[in-house]
């Protein structure tokens, strides 16, 4: 039997596209920090399409969070950490972008293009510890790679 997290992720990407899937995961992460998180109408719409396509039934926020707020590469729960707000998008090489997609998709330590919080540019970032470690290893294996991210507060 195939892992339901993988089936849900693959199906949701087919239904909503990669950006729609990432928006869903990010919004579930953001809403999880509220006192009484709940699914929004657009979440329910996507999840009902998932049910039609796969038979996976998600009826509440806790079930959606348990199924979707995990790294699909490392199968670890995503965590909130303090990161930096950066006002512009970096330009990465095609090699980096391919590695990010395959090896460390949830390695985020910065938030791009958002207004800084009132804490001097510190923001909360949803991230996978194993992805961050994989990205650091990947960067260390490349000579002349200027991509050396600063460690997050609260990260190992």
Residue spans of the domains in the chain: they are 4-68, 79-140
Residue 145 pLDDT: 57
Contacts 24+ apart (CB under 8 A), 25-30: 25/68, 25/69, 25/78, 25/126, 26/126, 28/61, 28/64, 28/65, 28/68, 28/69, 29/69, 29/78, 29/80, 29/126, 30/126
Q: What is the pTM of this model?
A: 0.66
Residues 104-153: tens digit of each pLDDT: 888 877 665 555 444 566 677 788 999 989 998 988 887 665 555 544 44
Beta strands in the chain (DSSP E): 79-86, 110-112, 122-127
pLDDT of residue 114: 52
Q: Are 120 and 151 in contact (CB under 8 A)?
A: no
Residue 46, pLDDT above cutoff 90: yes
Average pLDDT over residues 30-45: 87
């Amino acid at each position: 039997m195939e892992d339901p997290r993988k089936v849900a992720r693959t199906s949701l990407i087919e239904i909503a596209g990669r950006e729609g899937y990432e928006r869903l995961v990010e919004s579930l992460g953001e809403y999880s920090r509220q006192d009484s998180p709940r699914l929004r109408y657009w979440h329910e719409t996507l999840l009902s399409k998932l049910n039609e396509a796969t038979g996976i039934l998600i009826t509440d926020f806790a079930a959606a969070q348990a199924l979707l707020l995990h790294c699909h590469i490392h199968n670890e729960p995503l965590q909130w950490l303090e990161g930096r707000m950066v006002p512009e998008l970096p330009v990465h090489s095609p090699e980096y972008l391919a590695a990010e997609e395959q090896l460390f998709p949830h390695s985020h330590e910065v938030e791009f293009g958002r207004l800084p919080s009132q804490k001097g540019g510190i923001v909360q970032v949803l991230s996978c510890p194993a992805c961050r470690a994989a990205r650091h290893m990947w960067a260390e294996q490349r000579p002349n790679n200027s991509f050396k991210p600063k460690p997050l507060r609260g990260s190992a």
